[in-house]
Amino acid sequence: MHVVATLRIAEHVEAGAGAIEKLAGAVGCDARALHGVLSHLVHKGVFVEPAPGEFALNDTARQLFDGSKFLDLNGIGGRMAAAWATLPTYVRTGRPGYPEVFGLPFWEDLAAHPEVAKSFDSMIGPAGHGTPGADFEITGGWENVRSVVDVGGGTGGMLAELLRIRPEALGTLVDLPGTVARAGANFDAAGVADRVTLAAQSFFDALPAGSDLYLVRHVLNDWPDEETLAILRRCAEAAGSGGRVVVMGGVSPDDSPRRLDIEMLLVGGVTNSLSEFREMARQAGLEVVRAECQAREFVVECLRVSSSGKLLASADKGPLAVGCQGAGRDVSPPEPLEP
């Protein structure tokens, strides 16, 4: 699938190059080798071969038109496919083997390869994972929330949707400069650009202070515990006594089974149980006041606590934790990656 996506085979077949010799010529490949690949895919239900050496599209192959950008071996699809080969290193050491293959840790690799970073942002954003569900509940309701900081908010898909459904709120997008620079289209599409401030910075540095809510979605699962604690501390410091921190991703209900996620291999990310997270949040000066499955996300809400452990803002609902089947993020490309 990666190979045919990278070679744009579906597009060439659509354009009339279905015969294997013609197809191989069009994409600059060895005809016999390409024939083997396509026959294998036909056997798996992708493409059809109505006559020997003559290939045509079926519905599955047509999905390659849209999905191919996340399978293209020159983009994020290639990074992810190769990362699976580092599983033995990860299993032996608990640390990602990604730099062994690509020479740099994942985030540095993206910074060094803007086109790959762009395809990662696109896959994570609405074009890949769809429009995120922003209609989650918080203790006391949204009436008093006028400002939201999306910490590591990518190209702003979640913040755009959140501001769209909450017209009274202002938002700040915090992410790395290259990613923030690609966010404009999502805010324009949602009609919220005039309520957004862009903060191109690291979330390990001091965050824009004084907002009512700090959202950390699908970020903590990208980091080991030490960095997770640092991000939570930055959020707690910025949130101040009245603010709250809402986390999605990187925390799972205590009774949920462990998962093997691609971010473990890419970046050594960890998903903590709610009990483990509760302890880390306390170290950061936060208390978990609500943890609940909402719209397939495990949404964990925290409020600031004083050094004596007292809540600095009121929570109208006691701590609760409700299981969440299938919650969490899936950073896999949209198509199965069978060899």
**109 vs 292, beta carbon nearer ligand SAM:** 109
How many residues appear in the chain?
339
Report, in Å, the least distance between residue 169 CB and ligand SAM: 17
What b/e string do you get for 218-229 counting C-beta neighbours within 10 Å, with b at 16 or more?
bbbbbbeeebbb
Task: Please identify, using beta-carbon distances, which residue of 186 and 256 lies nearer to ligand SAM.
Answer: 186
Nearest CB to ligand SAM, comparing residues 189 and 311: 189
251 and 271 in contact (C-beta within 8 Å)? yes
> Do residues 117 and 123 lie in contact, with contact meaning Cβ atoms separated by under 8 Å?
no
Residues in 168-207 that interact with ligand SAM by CB under 6 A: 175-176, 179, 202-204
Shortest approach of ligand SAM to residue 249 CB, angstroms?
Answer: 7
Task: Report how far apart, in Å, the C-alpha atoms of 61 and of each of 13, 31, 34, 125, 329 are.
Answer: 10, 19, 15, 23, 26
Contact between 107 and ligand SAM per CB under 6 A: yes
Query: Residue with CB nearest ligand SAM?
Result: 154
CA atoms of 17 and 11, how far apart (whole Å): 9
Should residue 285 be labelled a site residue for ligand SAM when binding is judged by CB under 6 A?
A: no
In the complex, least distance from residue 190 CB atom to ligand SAM, rounded to whole angstroms: 15
Residues in 21-60 at the binding interface with ligand SAM, rule: CB under 6 A: none
CB of 227 to ligand SAM, least distance (A): 9
Q: Which amino acid is at 69?
A: K
Residues in 111-140 at the binding interface with ligand SAM, rule: CB under 6 A:
124
Question: Is there binding between residue 227 and ligand SAM (CB under 6 A)?
Answer: no
To ligand SAM, the closest distance from the beta carbon of 202 in angstroms equals 4
Question: If binding is defined by CB under 6 A, does position 109 make contact with ligand SAM?
Answer: no
- DSSP tag of 222: G
> What are the residues binding ligand SAM (CB under 6 A)?
107, 124, 152-154, 157-158, 175-176, 179, 202-204, 217-219, 222
